[in-house]
C-alpha cells in the first residue's frame, strides 16, 4: 500500500486528497480557500469527521503547513509522521512542449515549470510554490508533476497548428496545448470501460466555471476546444470562448482599450457573466425559469456553442459512440444537458428527459434506448487520476 498526497494549488486555494493506493481509499480530503485574503478557511474531511474553520493563512506555504498539521493531528489525523507519505502528486497546469507525460520532480523540472510561467501566469507560479513547500514538509516523499496539457500531446499537427507564419510555431511554440487534460483522460477512460469497444470515438465535455470539449479517438485526444490559452472554445463563466479576432483589434484601435484591458474583459468580464451579470449557472437557470429573456438567451447560446463542437468533432472522428458530460455543470445541470442534446437526432443523439432529471454520483446513461450515441454523465475525479499516474510512475522506477 502507498499513501499518495495529491495537491492542486490554485491562485488563492489549495485542494488536497490523501489516497491509499492501489485500494483507491480516500483517507482525508479538503480545501484551503481565500489564501492571502480575509476570511481564509480550511475544510478537512476524513471517514470519521468533518471540520471547517476560519484561520489566518497568508500564503500557500502556511496553507500546506496547516494541511500537514491536520493530517498528523492526534485526534483527527490519519498519519503519524510526514514519513508516512510515500509520494506527492502535484497538478501542474501547463507543461508546454517540454512535458508530455507525468515526471518525477527534480531541479531541472522545477526550472522548466518556471520557464512556462508566461503560458499560464495564473496557475504555474502557484503550482511551483506548492512543489517547493511540499519538498520542505515531506523531504522523504517522491514529488511528481502531473501536467494538465499532457493528455493533449497526441493532438495531430493538422489540429494543433494555427494558420499563421510557421516560424511562430517552430520558434515561439505557438500552438494548441489544451487544458483540463486530467479530467478528460479520467472520464474518457471510464467511458471506454463502459462501452467495452476495442475502437471508440468519444466527445468529453468538461463544464465548470472553465469549460472545454475534447475529441477522444481510441483513448487519445485528437482535438480540443481550448488552445494556446484557456479563453477560447466554449462559453464559460467569465470567459468569452471563441471570438472573431477583428473584435479585439476594433476594441483597441477604435474604442480606446489597451490590450491588457481587452484581455481582462475576455477573461474575467465575458462569458455568462458578461451576458447576464451572473457567473454562477444556478443563478442564471433560476432567472431564466422566472422569465428573464437575457438569461434564457445566454443558456441557449451556451448550448448552441457546445452543439457546434459536437458536430465538428463527430466529423473529425468520422463517427461518434458516446458523449460525456462532466465537472460541476456537466454533472449537475439537467437544463444544459437537455438544451445541448435536443434536436440532435441526425447525429443519433437522443436524450431521455426522465433519466436526465435524476441525480446520482455514479456513472449513468441518460440517452434513450433507441439512441445510437450513448449520452453519459460521469463524475470527474482528477485527484484519483493524478494518484493513479503517480503510483504507476513510482512503481515503474
Domains of the chain, start order? 2-147 (3.30.420.40), 181-377 (3.30.420.40)
Residue 245 φ/ψ, nearest 5 degrees: -60, -25
* pLDDT at residue number 366: 96
Binding residues are 8, 15, 91, 206-210, 280-282, 328-332, 382
DSSP code of 185? H
How many residues belong to the chain?
A: 397
Identify the top-confidence range among 2-11, 86-95, 209-218: 209-218
Q: What angle do CA 60, 63, 65 make, to 5 degrees?
A: 110
- Percentage of the chain modeled with pLDDT above 70: 99
Given this model, what pLDDT does residue 11 score?
67
Is 80 exceeded by the pLDDT of residue 10? no
Residues 9/57, Cβ–Cβ less than 8 Å: no
112 phi, psi to nearest 5 deg: -65, -40
Q: Establish whether 148 is a catalytic residue.
A: yes
Summarised one tens digit per residue, pLDDT across range 168-187 is 999 988 999 998 998 999 99
pLDDT tens, residue by residue, 31-54: 898 888 788 899 999 988 888 988
Sheet holding 41-46, edge to edge: 50-54, 41-46, 25-33, 13-21, 2-9, 87-92, 142-147, 103-104
Mean pLDDT across the chain, nearest whole number?
Answer: 91
Nearest-angstrom CA–CA distance, 145 and 106:
10
Q: What is the 3-state secondary structure (H, E, C) of 125-182?
A: HHHHHHHHHHHHHCCCCEEEEEECCHHHHHCCHHHHCCCCCHHHHHCCCCCCCCCCHH
For 271, the 3-state DSSP assignment is helix
Binding residues for substrate: 91
Strand partners, 374: 322
CA distance 240 to 257: 17
pLDDT tens digits for range 265-286: 998 899 999 999 998 898 999 9
The residue annotated as part of the active site, out of 84, 86, 148, 321, is 148
pLDDT higher than 80, residue 214: yes
pLDDT-based confidence at 397, cuts 50/70/90?
Answer: low
List residues forming the annotated binding site for ATP: 15, 206-210, 280-282, 328-332
Rounded to whole angstroms, the Cα distance separating 179 from 271 reads: 18
Instruction: Specify binding-site residues for Mg(2+).
Output: 8, 382
Task: Check pLDDT > 70 for residue 395.
Answer: yes
Amino acid at each position: 500500500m502507498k499513501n499518495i498526497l495529491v495537491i492542486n494549488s490554485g491562485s488563492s486555494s489549495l485542494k488536497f486528497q490523501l489516497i491509499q493506493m492501489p485500494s483507491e481509499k480516500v483517507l482525508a480530503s479538503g480545501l484551503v480557500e481565500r489564501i492571502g485574503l480575509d476570511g481564509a478557511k480550511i475544510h478537512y474531511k476524513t471517514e470519521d469527521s468533518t471540520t471547517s474553520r476560519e484561520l489566518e493563512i497568508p500564503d500557500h506555504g502556511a496553507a500546506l503547513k496547516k494541511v500537514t498539521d491536520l493530517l498528523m493531528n492526534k485526534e483527527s489525523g490519519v498519519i503519524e509522521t510526514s514519513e508516512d507519505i510515500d509520494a506527492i502528486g502535484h497538478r501542474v497546469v501547463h507543461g508546454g512542449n517540454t512535458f508530455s507525460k507525468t515526471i518525477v520532480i527534480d531541479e531541472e523540472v522545477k526550472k522548466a515549470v518556471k520557464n512556462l510561467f508566461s503560458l499560464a501566469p495564473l496557475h504555474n507560479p502557484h503550482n511551483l510554490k506548492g512543489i517547493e513547500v511540499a519538498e520542505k514538509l515531506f523531504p522523504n516523499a517522491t514529488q511528481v508533476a502531473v501536467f494538465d496539457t499532457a493528455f493533449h500531446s497526441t493532438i495531430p499537427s493538422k489540429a494543433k497548428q494555427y494558420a499563421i507564419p510557421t516560424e511562430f510555431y517552430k520558434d515561439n511554440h505557438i500552438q494548441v496545448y489544451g487544458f483540463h487534460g486530467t479530467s478528460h483522460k479520467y472520464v474518457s477512460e471510464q467511458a471506454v470501460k463502459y462501452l467495452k469497444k476495442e475502437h471508440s470515438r468519444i466527445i468529453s465535455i468538461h463544464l465548470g466555471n472553465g469549460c472545454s470539449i475534447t475529441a477522444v479517438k481510441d483513448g487519445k485526444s485528437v482535438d480540443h476546444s481550448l488552445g494556446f490559452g484557456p479563453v477560447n472554445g466554449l462559453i464559460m463563466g467569465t470567459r468569452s470562448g471563441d471570438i472573431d479576432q477583428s473584435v479585439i483589434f476594433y476594441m483597441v484601435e477604435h474604442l480606446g482599450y489597451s490590450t491588457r484591458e481587452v484581455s481582462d474583459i475576455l477573461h474575467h468580464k465575458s462569458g455568462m457573466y458578461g451576458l447576464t451579470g451572473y457567473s454562477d449557472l444556478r443563478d442564471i437557470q433560476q432567472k431564466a425559469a422566472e422569465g428573464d429573456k437575457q438569461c434564457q438567451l445566454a443558456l441557449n447560446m451556451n448550448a448552441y456553442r457546445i452543439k457546434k463542437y459536437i458536430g465538428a468533432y463527430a466529423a473529425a472522428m468520422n463517427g461518434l459512440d458516446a458523449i460525456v458530460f462532466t465537472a460541476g455543470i456537466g454533472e449537475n445541470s439537467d437544463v444544459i444537458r437537455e438544451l445541448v442534446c435536443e434536436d440532435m437526432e441526425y447525429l443519433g443523439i437522443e436524450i431521455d428527459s426522465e433519466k436526465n432529471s435524476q441525480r446520482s454520483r455514479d456513472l449513468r446513461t441518460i440517452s434513450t434506448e433507441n439512441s445510437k450515441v450513448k449520452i453519459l454523465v460521469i463524475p470527474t475525479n482528477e485527484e484519483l487520476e493524478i494518484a493513479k499516474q503517480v503510483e504507476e510512475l513510482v512503481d515503474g522506477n
